[in-house]
C-alpha cells in the first residue's frame, strides 16, 4: 500500500491538536479503512474535533514502503471549494494532509518550493524554508515565513473567510487595538501578517494582578469596536459534544462529567453582548519589557458575542495551563492568575457556566491523551468552581 502527499504534519498545537487513543471512533475508522483499502490496525487516531453536523477525525496511517501519512475523515457535511480527496457516501470525505479541501492554500504553503513561489507572487520574498507551526483541520494553519525584513506569518483560512479576517485586522488597527498589520492576502484563503509587537506572553515575566487588569483594559477597548460581523456562537454550543465524548473516553468519570455538564446548563442566556475575541487566553497576547499588552493575535473569532465567552476562555486556559506547567513557580503563578480572574469575573453566573464548558473541553483532551492525573484535577476544579453567591 502506498499513499501520495507524504508531507509530515506539523507538531500538535492547541486544544484540538491532542493525540487521543480513541479520537476517531469506529465509524471514522471503518470509513477510512474502506476508502484507502487498508486494515484498521494500520491506523492510529490522532485528532478529533466537532465541525458542522459532525466532526473531523485524523489518523496516522502506516505504509508498507514509506513513512506514515496523515489522513482525515470529514463528516461535517460542510461544502468545500473543491474536493481534494475522496467523496464518500453520506456526504463524508477523506483527504491526506496537506490537501485539506477547506483550506486550498494549505498544500502550496506546506511544500517548500511551492510556498516560496506562491509568496513571491504576492510580493513576499523568502530567505529560507517556510515552516508550518500550527494546523487545525478545516479551520486554519499558520506558517513562519523568513524574509530579509524578519519573520512574517502566513495564515491559511477558508476562502470565504479571508476577506473578513483581513478586514478585521484593519478595523481593529484603525480603532487602536495592537493587532498585526496585514501585508497582503489572496482570495484562496491566504493572509500574510507582520510580526506582533513585543514578545509572547508565555515567554516573558508578568505578575497576575497587573496582567489581569491589562486584559480587562484590552477587552474594554475591543468592546467599543463595531466590526460589522454577525454574532458568533459561544462555547456552550459544544457542551453536548464535549459531554458525550468525555463520557465515552473516561467512563469511570461519567457521573462527575454529567454533574459538571448539568451545572453548566443552569446559567441564563447571554446578557452582555459586545465585541469579543472569541478565543482569548495568554497565548494570544504579546507583552513589552514592562509586561504591558502590546500585541493581540488570532482574530479569526472576533465578532459580537457574549462578554462571558472571553472571561471563561481565559480562566479555563489558565487553569488547564497551570496543570500542565512542569515548573512549580510558573505553575503557581498561573494558578494565581486563574484565581484572580475568577475573583474579577467568576461571580457572573454566565462566566461560571462557560468556564465549566471550557474545563470539560480541556478534560476531554486530557482523557483522550491518557493524562489521568490532569483529567482528575480538571474535573475536581470544575466541581469546586465558586458560584459567586
Residue 265 pLDDT level (bands cut at 50, 70, 90): very high
Q: How high is the pLDDT of residue 279?
A: 93
What order of strands is seen across the sheet that includes strand 43-51? 43-51, 54-61, 69-74, 93-96, 86-87
175 falls within a domain: yes
Residue 9 pLDDT level (bands cut at 50, 70, 90): very low
Q: How high is the pLDDT of residue 5?
A: 33
13 falls within a domain: no
pLDDT digits (tens, 9 = 90+) for 294-303: 999 999 999 9
38 contacts: CB under 8 Å, gap ≥ 6: 1, 32, 61
pLDDT digits (tens, 9 = 90+) for 272-288: 789 999 999 999 999 99
The H or E element spanning position 232 is: none
CATH number at residue 330: 3.90.1200.10
Cell 471512533 sits on residue: 25
Longest dimension (CA), the chain: 62
Dist CA 320 CA 35 (whole Å):
37
Q: Based on the fold, state whether residues 316 and 222 are members of the same structural domain.
A: yes
Residue 20 pLDDT level (bands cut at 50, 70, 90): very low
5 falls within a domain: no
48 falls within a domain: yes
Q: Based on the fold, state whether residues 181 and 203 are members of the same structural domain.
A: no
385 compared with 5, residue with greater pLDDT: 385
Question: What is the reported pTM?
Answer: 0.85
Q: Has residue 4 got a pLDDT over 60? A: no
- Percent pLDDT > 90 in the chain is 68
Q: Based on the fold, state whether residues 239 and 377 are members of the same structural domain.
A: yes
CA-to-CA dists, residue 254 to 43, 242, 267, 368, angstroms: 27, 12, 22, 14
Task: Write the DSSP assignment of 275-329 as a string of letters.
Answer: EE-SS-SGGGEEE-TT--EEEE---TT-EEEEHHHHHHHHHHHHHHHHHH--SHH
CATH number at residue 185: 3.30.200.20
89-101 average pLDDT score = 91
Q: What are 188's three cell numbers?
A: 484562496
Q: How high is the pLDDT of residue 10?
A: 34
Residue 388 pLDDT level (bands cut at 50, 70, 90): low
389 falls within a domain: no
pLDDT digits (tens, 9 = 90+) for 158-193: 999 999 999 999 999 999 999 999 999 999 999 999
Burial bucket for residue 230 (CB in 10 Å: 0-12, 13-18, 19+): exposed
pLDDT digits (tens, 9 = 90+) for 351-374: 999 999 999 999 998 998 889 999
Residue closest to 212 by CA, chosen among 234, 304, 220? 220
Q: Has residue 117 got a pLDDT over 90? A: no
CA Rg value for the chain:
21
Tally of domains within the chain: 3
Q: How high is the pLDDT of residue 370?
A: 85
Q: Based on the fold, state whether residues 204 and 290 are members of the same structural domain.
A: yes
Q: Has residue 259 got a pLDDT over 90? A: yes
Task: Write the DSSP assignment of 1-14 as a string of letters.
Answer: ---S--PPPPPP-S
Q: Last residue of a domain, which of 96, 118, 144?
A: 96
Q: Based on the fold, state whether residues 163 and 224 are members of the same structural domain.
A: no
Dist CA 39 CA 73 (whole Å):
15
Dist CA 275 CA 301 (whole Å):
10
Q: Based on the fold, state whether residues 72 and 205 are members of the same structural domain.
A: no
Beta-carbon count within 10 A of 151 CB: 12
Across the chain, the runs of DSSP E, i.e. the strands, are 43-51, 54-61, 69-74, 86-87, 93-96, 131-136, 140-147, 150-156, 182-186, 190-193, 199-200, 273-276, 285-287, 293-296, 303-306
Dist CA 242 CA 233 (whole Å):
16
143-148 average pLDDT score = 92
Q: What are 17's three cell numbers?
A: 491538536
Q: Has residue 267 got a pLDDT over 70? A: yes
Dist CA 57 CA 19 (whole Å):
11
23 compared with 95, residue with greater pLDDT: 95
Which of 13-17, 49-53, 201-205, 302-306 is modeled with the greatest confidence?
Answer: 302-306
1 falls within a domain: no
Q: Based on the fold, state whether residues 92 and 110 are members of the same structural domain.
A: no
Question: Are the C-beta atoms of 3 and 36 separated by less than 8 Å?
Answer: yes
Q: Based on the fold, state whether residues 32 and 139 are members of the same structural domain.
A: no
Cell 473516561 sits on residue: 250
Q: How high is the pLDDT of residue 63?
A: 85
Q: How high is the pLDDT of residue 287?
A: 96
Q: How high is the pLDDT of residue 54?
A: 87
Q: Based on the fold, state whether residues 89 and 173 are members of the same structural domain.
A: no
Residue 2 pLDDT level (bands cut at 50, 70, 90): very low
SS (H, E, C) 65-84: CCCCEEEEEECCCCCCCCCC
Residue 146 pLDDT level (bands cut at 50, 70, 90): very high
- What is the end-to-end Cα distance of the chain in Å, rounded? 61
Which of 22-31, 41-50, 110-119, 319-328 is modeled with the greatest confidence?
Answer: 319-328
149 falls within a domain: yes
Q: What are 317's three cell numbers?
A: 486556559
Q: Has residue 65 got a pLDDT over 60? A: yes
Q: Based on the fold, state whether residues 110 and 244 are members of the same structural domain.
A: no
16 falls within a domain: no
Q: Based on the fold, state whether residues 204 and 353 are members of the same structural domain.
A: yes
pLDDT digits (tens, 9 = 90+) for 339-357: 999 999 867 889 999 999 9
Q: Last residue of a domain, which of 150, 175, 193?
A: 193
Dist CA 157 CA 171 (whole Å):
18
73-85 average pLDDT score = 94
- How are beta strands 273-276 and 190-193 bridged, if at all? unpaired
Q: Based on the fold, state whether residues 295 and 314 are members of the same structural domain.
A: yes
Residue 17 pLDDT level (bands cut at 50, 70, 90): very low
Q: Last residue of a domain, which of 193, 219, 234?
A: 193
Domain residue limits at 87: 25-96
Amino acid at each position: 500500500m502506498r499513499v501520495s502527499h507524504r508531507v509530515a504534519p506539523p507538531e500538535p498545537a492547541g486544544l484540538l491538536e491532542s493525540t487521543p487513543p480513541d479520537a476517531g471512533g469506529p465509524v471514522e475508522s471503518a470509513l477510512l479503512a474502506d476508502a484507502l483499502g487498508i486494515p484498521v490496525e494500520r491506523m492510529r487516531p490522532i485528532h478529533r474535533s466537532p465541525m458542522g453536523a459532525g466532526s473531523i477525525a485524523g489518523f496516522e496511517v502506516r505504509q508498507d514502503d514509506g513513512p506514515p501519512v496523515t489522513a482525515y475523515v470529514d463528516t461535517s457535511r460542510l461544502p468545500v471549494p473543491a474536493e481534494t480527496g475522496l467523496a464518500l457516501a453520506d456526504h463524508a470525505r477523506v483527504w491526506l494532509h496537506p490537501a485539506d479541501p477547506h483550506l486550498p492554500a494549505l498544500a502550496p504553503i506546506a511544500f517548500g518550493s511551492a510556498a516560496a513561489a506562491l509568496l513571491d507572487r504576492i510580493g513576499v520574498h523568502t530567505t529560507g524554508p517556510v515552516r508550518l507551526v500550527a494546523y487545525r483541520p478545516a479551520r486554519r494553519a499558520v506558517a513562519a515565513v523568513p524574509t530579509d525584513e524578519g519573520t512574517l506569518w502566513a495564515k491559511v483560512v477558508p476562502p470565504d473567510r479571508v476577506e473578513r479576517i483581513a478586514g478585521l485586522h484593519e478595523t481593529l488597527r484603525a480603532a487602536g487595538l495592537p493587532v498585526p498589520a496585514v501585508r497582503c492576502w489572496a482570495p484562496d484563503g491566504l493572509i500574510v501578517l507582520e510580526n506582533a509587537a513585543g514578545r509572547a506572553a508565555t515567554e516573558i515575566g508578568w505578575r497576575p494582578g497587573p496582567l489581569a487588569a491589562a486584559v480587562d483594559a484590552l477587552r474594554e477597548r475591543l468592546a467599543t469596536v463595531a466590526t460589522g460581523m454577525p454574532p458568533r456562537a459561544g462555547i456552550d454550543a459544544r457542551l453536548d459534544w464535549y459531554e458525550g465524548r468525555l463520557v465515552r473516553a473516561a467512563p469511570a468519570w461519567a457521573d462527575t462529567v454529567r454533574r459538571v455538564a448539568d451545572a453548566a446548563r443552569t446559567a441564563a442566556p447571554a446578557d452582555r453582548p459586545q465585541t469579543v475575541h472569541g478565543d482569548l487566553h495568554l497565548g494570544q497576547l504579546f507583552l513589552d519589557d514592562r509586561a504591558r499588552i502590546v500585541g493581540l493575535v488570532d482574530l479569526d473569532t472576533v465578532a459580537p458575542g457574549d462578554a462571558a465567552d472571553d472571561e471563561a476562555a481565559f480562566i479555563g486556559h489558565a487553569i488547564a495551563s497551570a496543570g500542565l506547567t512542569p515548573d512549580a513557580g510558573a505553575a503557581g503563578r498561573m494558578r494565581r492568575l486563574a484565581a484572580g480572574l475568577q475573583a474579577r469575573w467568576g461571580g457572573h453566573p454566565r462566566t461560571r457556566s462557560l468556564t465549566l464548558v471550557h474545563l470539560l473541553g480541556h478534560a476531554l483532551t486530557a482523557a483522550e491523551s491518557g493524562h489521568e492525573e490532569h483529567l482528575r484535577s480538571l474535573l475536581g476544579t470544575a466541581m469546586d468552581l465558586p458560584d459567586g453567591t
